[in-house]
Structures are given as C-alpha cells and as structure tokens.
C-alpha cells in the first residue's frame, strides 16, 4: 500500500494535470456500461475525498507538533489566555490545530460568552453548543445584534434564528442542571423571535442573575418586571429598552441597586 500510494503521489510531479484527465477519460471510454462508468467515478470521488481528509489530518498533526514545541505556555496557562479572548477569536483558535482545539474546549474558555455581532450570523446551534461547553463555568452571555460604531439609530437589523424557535433550542440548554443558577449576566439585543414567553424561560432558568440588559426585544415592560420579581431576587442592574412599547418611557436603567422582590413589585405597580 505504501509503495502504491507513493507511486500515485509521484504522478503530480511527473505528469501534468491534462495527462491525468486524458488517462481518466480513456479509462471511462474503455468501460462498457454507464453503470460501471458511474461506479468508477464514485470510487474516484471516494478515493479523492479520503486522500484529502488524510492530508488535512496529517497537516493538523504536524501543526500541533510544531505548536507544542514552539508554544511556550503550558496547557493551564494557555486555557487562561484563551478564556480572555472574545468568542470569535476563540473559535479561530479552536480551528488552528489539535493542541489549541483541546485547550479551547475547556469550560473556562466559555465562562463569558459574547456572541453580539453587527450583522446576523449566529444561529441556535452555535449558541447552544457554547452554553453546553461552558457547563458549570457559565457566568455571562451577551447575544444579539448591536449597531456598529458608524450605524445610525434604528438601523440595526434584528437577529433571526433560522434553525428553530428560540424557546425550543434553549429549553434544554437553559434548564440543564449543570448550568442552572450560575449565570449572573445576561444581555440580549434585537432578537426578533424572542418574546415574553422565551424571556420568562431564560429568567426562570437563572435565578442568580445580577445584571440583565434587554434591548430591542418584543417584550412588555410590565411582564418583564413580573418575571424578574418572580425569578431574579438578586438582580443589581437592570436595563430595559423594548421595541414593542414605542413609548418614551420604554427605556429604564437601574444601576448599583439590589432590587429585592418587594421593590420590584412597587416598580411594576408604578
């Protein structure tokens, strides 16, 4: 097998691509039936795909070996560095090599998940996967579409989840026992399909929330307060700006306060 593979790979140096094409065409012409020709093409595709996967795997292995020698930090410090990266940079590091991928899979790297973007490019699978990777280390989640520095007010395009309903995809992740009662910061921006029901699911799943920021969601201020009152007794910061009310008083920011249950009820009545 080794000699056969070496002989095949040496064709790249000795024969131009045109010669290989002509040889394959002659081989097809010599095959009697259409079924046999189709089978030959399928086998060629399979062998080509196998060679490509093998080459990619070997390249990653070589890169990992190089990084393990050249990278000065031990795994625990590498994980610490990765935990300071933003979520997009962490994904890039994950795809670099096997060694970085292994370090980037540590739950500490997903303690603070920031998936805010300027354009809609995050789906349910990405969010759910990162929450699962965080496990017991899950502390902070920022999600949605935020306007860029040069965007005009109101020009932000809402984030639409295309895989399935927002509530359905998070009903598992947000109610996992290993992640419950751990999240202390939740910021949600311009998520089109998140309504009162799905927001209540999120707040009920994380009673230890200290910092809640809601911008551009189709939710009611009163119902949001009621949900906070029922589930988030430790809340210290609340920022609310709904896209549904359309009133001047739809923006509310409470900073530096511990809002206990009875205080929230007073605010709701007001």
At 49, list the tokens.
Answer: 């795909």
Q: What's residue 250's pLDDT?
A: 47
- Model's pTM, two decimal places? 0.64
Q: Are 225 and 268 a contacting pair, CB within 8 Å?
A: yes
Neighbouring CB atoms inside 10 A of 114's CB total 16
**Same domain, yes or no, for 120 and 60?**
no
Highest mean pLDDT among 72-81, 151-160, 176-185: 72-81
Domain endpoint, select from 67, 97, 124: 67
Domain of residue 198 covers 111-269
Asked if residue 115 and residue 24 are part of one domain, the reply reads: no
Residue 96 within a domain: no
Q: Residue 206 falls within a domain, yes or no? A: yes
pLDDT in tens, 229-263: 888 888 888 888 866 544 444 445 555 555 566 66
The number of domains in the chain is 2
Query: What is the rounded end-to-end Cα distance, in angstroms, of the chain?
Result: 80
Give the phi and the psi of residue 254 in degrees, each rounded to 5.
-120, 115
Structural domain contains residue 104: no
Judgement on whether residues 50 and 132 belong to the same structural domain of the protein: no
Q: Please give the Cα distance from 92 to 83 (Å, whole number).
A: 13
Sheet containing strand 251-254, edge to edge, reads: 112-117, 140-145, 185-189, 211-215, 237-241, 251-254
Residue 115 located in a structural domain? yes
The tens digit of pLDDT for each residue in 25-73 reads 888 888 888 888 889 889 889 988 998 998 888 887 887 788 778 888 8
Q: With 90 as the cut, is the pLDDT of residue 109 above it?
A: yes
Q: Is 224 a member of any domain?
A: yes
196 found inside a domain: yes
Please report whether residue 81 resides in a domain.
no
């Amino acid at each position: 097998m080794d000699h056969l593979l070496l002989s095949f790979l040496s064709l790249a140096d000795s024969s131009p691509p045109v010669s290989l094409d002509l040889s394959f065409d002659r081989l097809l012409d010599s095959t009697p039936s259409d079924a046999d020709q189709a089978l030959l093409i399928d086998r060629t595709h399979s062998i080509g795909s196998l060679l490509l996967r093998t080459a990619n795997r070997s390249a990653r292995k070589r890169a990992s070996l190089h990084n393990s020698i050249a990278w000065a930090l031990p795994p625990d410090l590498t994980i610490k560095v990765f935990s300071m990266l933003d979520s997009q940079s962490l994904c890039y590091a994950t795809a670099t090599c096997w060694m970085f991928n292994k370090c980037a899979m540590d739950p500490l790297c997903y303690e603070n998940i920031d998936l805010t973007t300027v354009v809609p490019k995050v789906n349910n699978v990405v969010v759910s996967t990162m929450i699962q990777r965080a496990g017991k280390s899950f502390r902070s989640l920022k999600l949605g579409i935020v306007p860029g520095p040069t965007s005009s007010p109101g020009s932000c395009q809402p984030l639409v989840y295309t895989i399935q309903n927002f509530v359905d995809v998070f009903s598992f992740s947000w109610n996992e026992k290993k992640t419950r009662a751990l999240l202390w910061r939740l910021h949600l921006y311009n998520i089109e399909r998140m309504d009162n029901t799905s927001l209540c699911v999120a707040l009920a799943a994380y009673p230890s929330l200290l910092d809640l920021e809601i911008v551009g969601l189709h939710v009611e201020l009163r119902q949001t307060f009621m949900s906070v009152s029922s589930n988030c007794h430790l809340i210290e910061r609340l920022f609310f700006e709904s896209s549904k009310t359309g009133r001047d008083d739809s923006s509310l920011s409470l900073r530096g306060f511990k809002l206990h249950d009875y205080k929230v009820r007073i605010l709701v009545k007001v």
